[in-house]
Each structure stands twice: as structure tokens, then as C-alpha cells.
Amino acid sequence: MIELPETYVLSAQINQQLSGKRVKDVLVNSYPHKFAWYSGDSKNWDKYGYLTDIYREKLVGKNVTKANPNGGDTEIICEDQLLIISTPIKYHEVGKLPAKHQLLVKFDDNTHISCTVQMWGAMLCFSLTDKENSQPPDPLTDAFDEDYFETLWTNTKPGLSSKAFLATEQRIPGLGNGVLQDILFNAKIHPKRKLQTMDDEDMQDLFSSVKATLKDMKELGGRDTEKDLFGQNGGYRTILSKNTISKPCSVCGWDLIRQAYLGGNIYFCPVCQPL
């Protein structure tokens, strides 16, 4: 799974590097992964040849037209077909291919892109006309404004924690456990703090942090914990992540804390983000 800042970075790089390239071949599920999902009958997901035939039929001979960010997915349009990818994507020059991958697309100039699932990920392919257009607004667009954020807030159970509010049930497309950490730090809100303990000022701080933190992550080329199309780490230096847990808080100097919570780790400063 990737998150919103990285889908913006990947989409921009794909538009620059792959636009106009023609698909020459596709290889699907050559290294099976339990949590890799594809188009087609789910009963046949583990049958390599079946999946490859489906994707080849749809994609071979088609030119890459455009790429778009869509929450936690990168959309690659190949004329009338659409690839929706929720995993990291890597670009490979001639002769440089990974040993393990769940999707490999070869172009007419013998370059490739590959997808390798980490925890879980989807690599779907279907007709562009089948795309569903109804979805929540992207938090980096003007449609995601304070009024919209307030509707999310008021329609959510007050007993939910701030992490559950922001990063579960896909309330905010592409906002997951990774980007959550710095958003909450910048808002000075503990990941376990309940909504019912927050007031309008807290809501304003949280809204502002969602917009500003995601914008910074996008404009700096993604987070330093993630890689772009060319295998380079992003330029945004995370405040709270696996890269910083051994360091003191950048604001107060206190020891940072990592805990398991709601199916993933949370990182926080107990001084700057009191519970």
C-alpha cells in the first residue's frame, strides 16, 4: 500500500517517463503473494497463465496515455484501459529487472515497470468506461475544505480516536497510518485521543494540519521512508517514523514513543501530544 503524497509523485514521474510508450508484454503473479489482488475471477488468482492472458489481452499494443493520483492508488491510463495500482511502482532501464515481482509491464523500447507487494496491494486492470467516478474529495484539492471536514467530524462517533477518525474506513482517500503520524504531531494531538475530548479549535488545527502536512509531503517528492519510480527516497523528512524513533523530539527534546495500536504502529511525543 502507498499513500497520497507518493501517488502524486509516481503519477508525475510516470507522465514524464512513460507517456507515449507502447505496452509490449505483461507478466502477472509470477511470484505469488497471499495479499496481492488482481482483476479477473478470484478463484483463478493463483493461476499465473490465466492472469497473464487477461492482462495481455487488455494491454498489449496500447500506449500509455496518462497517470493520475487517486487517493492511495496510482492510475495509469493505457488508451481505453486503466491500471489501478496500490503498490510501489519501479521503473527499469534495459536489462535491469527485479528477481521477484507481482506485476511486470514491458514497453516497446525494452524498458519495464514492476510492482512488488509489501504488506498487501492491488494491481487491477479494466476498461476505462467501467471506472466509478463517485469518490470522496482529494484532501489536496479545494473541494476538501473546512466545511467538508466538519461534515466528516460531525458524522463520526465521538468515541473514536483521532487515528481511527483519520485513517480508517477510507474517510480521507490516501491518508493512512504512514502520513498520519506527522499530521497528528503538527496538530499536537495524540493518536489515541478521543474526538469527544476535542473542541472546535482542535478540529481547526487538525484540518489545517491535514492540508499543510500532505502538501509539504507532496511538494518535497514524498516521504523519506518511501521510494519513487526510480527507487529514490522522497525529500520530505518525516518527524515521526521508523527513521526518527531513536532520536529525541525535534521540538521539546523528549524521547519519542512507538506503540502498537489499531493494527499498526503509532509514533508520538508524550509532551507535545498529551493524551
In angstroms, the first-to-last Cα distance of the chain is 29
Separation CA 157–CA 203 (nearest Å): 14
Q: Which three cell numbers stand for residue 10?
A: 509516481
Separation CA 111–CA 89 (nearest Å): 13
Separation CA 200–CA 191 (nearest Å): 18
> What is the rounded average pLDDT of the residues 162-190?
95
Q: What are phi and psi of 125, to 5 degrees?
A: -140, 125
Bridge partners of 103? 28, 115
Q: Which three cell numbers stand for residue 269?
A: 511525543
> What is the rounded average pLDDT of the residues 249-261?
96
Relative to beta strand 121-127, strand 81-85 is antiparallel
Tell me if residue 109 falls in helix, strand or coil. Answer: coil
Judge contact between 88 and 5, C-beta under 8 A. no
For the segment 182-236, what is each residue's pLDDT rounded down to a tens digit?
999 999 999 999 999 999 999 999 999 999 999 999 999 999 999 999 999 999 9
Look at residues 187, 178, 197, 193 and name the one whose alpha carbon lies nearest to residue 240.
178
With 90 as the cut, is the pLDDT of residue 253 above it?
Answer: yes
Separation CA 14–CA 67 (nearest Å): 6
Bridge partners of 52? none
Give the burial class of 213: count Cβ atoms within 10 A of its Cβ; 0-12 exposed, 13-18 middle, 19 or more buried: buried
Q: What is the mean pLDDT of the chain?
A: 93
- pLDDT value of residue 30: 86
Which domains are present in the chain?
A: 4-130 (3.20.190.10), 146-268 (1.10.8.50)
Residue 58: half-sphere exposure toward Cβ, Cα within 13 Å: 23
For the segment 47-82, what is each residue's pLDDT rounded down to a tens digit?
556 778 889 999 999 999 999 999 999 999 999 999
- pLDDT value of residue 44: 56
With 60 as the cut, is the pLDDT of residue 45 above it?
Answer: no
Tell me if residue 199 falls in helix, strand or coil. Answer: coil
Look at residues 243, 252, 253, 249 and name the one whose alpha carbon lies nearest to residue 268.
249
- pLDDT value of residue 43: 58
